[in-house]
Structures are given as structure tokens and as C-alpha cells.
Structure 1
Amino acid sequence: MARLETQRLILRSFAENDLGDLHHFAQNPKLGKMAGWQPHSGLGESQAILTLFIRSDEVFALELKETHHVIGSIGLHRRAPSGSTPEDSERELGFVLDEDYWGQGLMPEAIMGILAFGFNHLHLMTIWVGHFASNRQSKRVIEKTGFHFEYELERPKLFADDAPVTECYYKLTVTDYRAQQAKLENS
């Protein structure tokens, strides 16, 4: 897996010694609810997820350069409509950031790094991203990083005690990304 750097972050493979940091942010009930997963109830659950992340070529740890702590994750996940195989030219962006670091511009910074990787090194044609309609923070980050709204989808209950949720989907094509980069370079 590649190792990517932005101004304040290192995007790298997860490692066994990331367990404490992963568990710290993954046990936050607010993050799980916003991302569609139950908060981790113990280290064993975090260890199981960490093992999946270590084996994956889709998920990067977000390490803060200043402290060398993992403060979140970001991934480019293979996506496939039900009953088909994933297209090599498309991926779906997923991200989570420890609540202690919200509002500092870290996630847009990480996303711009992963977009460059996806379009320039994986040669993707399209990157998708979704958020629950109630997740205003993710919506702002998604729009700030150049994604365009495509559609909404009603999802059934995620957990037994939940109501159905609306998920909003956005996409960014390589053409739009290149135009966005050219505009930034010329300003």
C-alpha cells in the first residue's frame, strides 16, 4: 500500500500498534451514528476491525504528523451494484475523523491527498462518496472538496432501533478533478 503525505498528515497502512488510537475514536457513539456503524464496545471489537484494515488495500490510517497518533481513517473502496463485480475505474470514498480534530481542515486535506492518489496512481475515472442526510459536517467536507451531488437513496434501518435513513451520493470524475486542479494552479 502506498504511503501518502499532506501538509499535516501521513496516510499509511494500519499497523498493530494503532489499536489504542483506533479504539479511542471508534468507541465514540457520535462517529458511529454518522458513519453507519455501532460504536466499538471493547478492544476486541477494535482489534477485529484493525485486523481487517491491516489486510485491506483500501483503507489508510490518518496519522497526525505532529503527534504520530492515528486520528481517523480514509479509504477508496471498491463498489459494485448488487449482483455484479466492482468496476476497476470507480471507487467509493469513506472517511472518519476523531471528533477532537473536527473543524481544523484535516479531512479536506486528507481527501485531496487521496483524490490525487486515486486519479493519478490508481487511474480511476470516478470517485463516489455518500453521507447520511443528517450529517452536515460530511456534506460540507464533500462539497468543499469538489464533489457534485448525484442522487438520494432511502436506506432501511441500519440497526434494530433506528428509523430508515436517507443517504446522499456525490461523485467526482477525473475530468472534473483535473479542471479543479488546473483552476487552483492558475489562481
Structure 2
Amino acid sequence: MIGKKIYLRRFIKEDGEQLFLWSKNPVYFEKARFTQYKDLTAARRGATLLAERKNSFAICSLENSKLIGMVELYERGASPSLLNTCEVGFLLDEKYWHQGLMKEALELVCDYAFNKIGMKEIWAGVFQDNDASIQLLKKIGFEYIYQVSYPNLFSSETKKENYYLLRSDNCKFTLSC
């Protein structure tokens, strides 16, 4: 999938090096609970696992083909009411924040979900304090639905996650929608 500034591709084992760098930066764990790999070997295994998932994509810059982020569609469950729904997760290297690149990546993957694999709903869970991601989801057309509180295993505070929904019949961007 190709946009104006980025393209989405499948993961490869060599992406493990970038995954390892992201895992050492606490901002990605705090904002998105990104996996913290113990070493490069574990990160390469992680990249291999991502490559095996059919709806996991590396976000790359068209300018230099560098891996700058990731976006993935997850199944929400096997019950009949959830079959045409998925959840999207995303991460962008902080050097590329506030440039419209994640908006482009999310629009590409949402277009793919709605028009290539037949999803009717895309959900996104974002921590309550992740203002940039919340504003991004709203800009694309996601609507706030509810909030869940999770115990934080790493501190005494409770983390609150907001859940947003984008329906295929209500998407605002103009790829194939």
C-alpha cells in the first residue's frame, strides 16, 4: 500500500534491529505498551512473528525506505457479532511525530480493512493521556465509545484506555470510502 509520503510493507527479520531500538525507549512502552525486548535476538524473533501475521505492516518512508513505524489489525474475537470487526494498533518513531505520516498510514490500513478484507468496524484503544493519538483518531473519523480502567502492573496507578470506533459507512477520508 502506497501513500504520498509513506508505504506499508510486510515485516522482515531485519526489522528486528529497529524494534529493539524502540523497545529500549520508554516513551513507546508508556504510550502504547510496546514490547520491551531483552536483546536483539528476541527483537528479530518478534519481527519474524510480525511477518507471519497477515495484517501487520511496517510503515516506511518513501523518501528513504526507512522503517519508521508499524500498524496492525487485530481480530476482536470469534463470535459471529465480531467477525467483521477488528482493532487497529499503531506506533510511529518519535522523530516522525506531527508530520501527518501516521494519519496517512491509518487511512491506508483502514481503506484496506474496509475495502479489501471486508471489515465493517475498526476499533482503536488509546490510553487516556495519549492526546496526540486521540486527536489523530478523531481527525480520521473515529468516535469515542467507552473507557476501560486497567490495573497498572508497573505502578500503583490505574491506566484508563479510551475505545474509539470507525464504521465503514461513516469514514471521512477519501481513499476508496
TM-score of the pair, normalised by structure 2: 0.90
The answer for the alignment partner of 1:149 in structure 2 is 144
> How far apart, CA to CA, are the structure 1 residues paired with 2:80 and 2:158?
27
User: Could you list the runs of 4 or more consecutive aligned residues of structure 1 that deviate by over 3 angstroms after TM superposition?
Assistant: 37-41
SS in 2 for 1:134: coil
> Could you tell me which residue of structure 1 aligns to residue 120 of structure 2?
125
Moved more, 21-30 or 162-171: 21-30
Q: Indicate if the aligned counterparts of 1:131 and 1:169 stay in contact, CA closer than 8 A.
A: yes
Change (3 A) 1:98 1:39: same
Offset at residue 78 of structure 1 (A): 0.5
The answer for the alignment partner of 1:174 in structure 2 is 168
Gaps in structure 1 of 5+ consecutive residues: none
Per the alignment, residue 165 of structure 1 pairs with 159
Structure 2: gaps of 5 or more residues: none
State the partner residue of 2:7. 10
8 A Cα contact 2:107 2:173, kept in partner: no
Q: How many residues align?
A: 176
Instruction: Give how far 1:37 is off.
Output: 3.6
Indicate the SS of the match to 1:5. coil
Question: Aligned equivalents of 1:86 and 1:181: distance in 2?
Answer: 26
Distance 1:167 1:142 in 2: 14
Structure 1 residues 85 and 37, CA gap change in structure 2 (3 angstroms): farther
The Cα RMSD (Å) is 2.1
Give per-residue Cα distances to partners, 1:52-72, cap 9 Å, x unaligned: 101111210001111111111
- Summarize the Cα distance change of 1:79–1:162 in structure 2 as closer, same or farther, 3 Å threshold: farther
Q: Which one-letter code corresponds to 2:124 in the other structure?
A: V
Match of 2:65 among 60, 64, 68: 68
Identity of aligned residues (%): 29
Contact 2:14–2:44 (CA<8 Å) still a contact in 1? no
Structure 1 counterpart of 2:32, from 31, 35, 41: 35
**Deviation for aligned residue 1:123:** 1.0
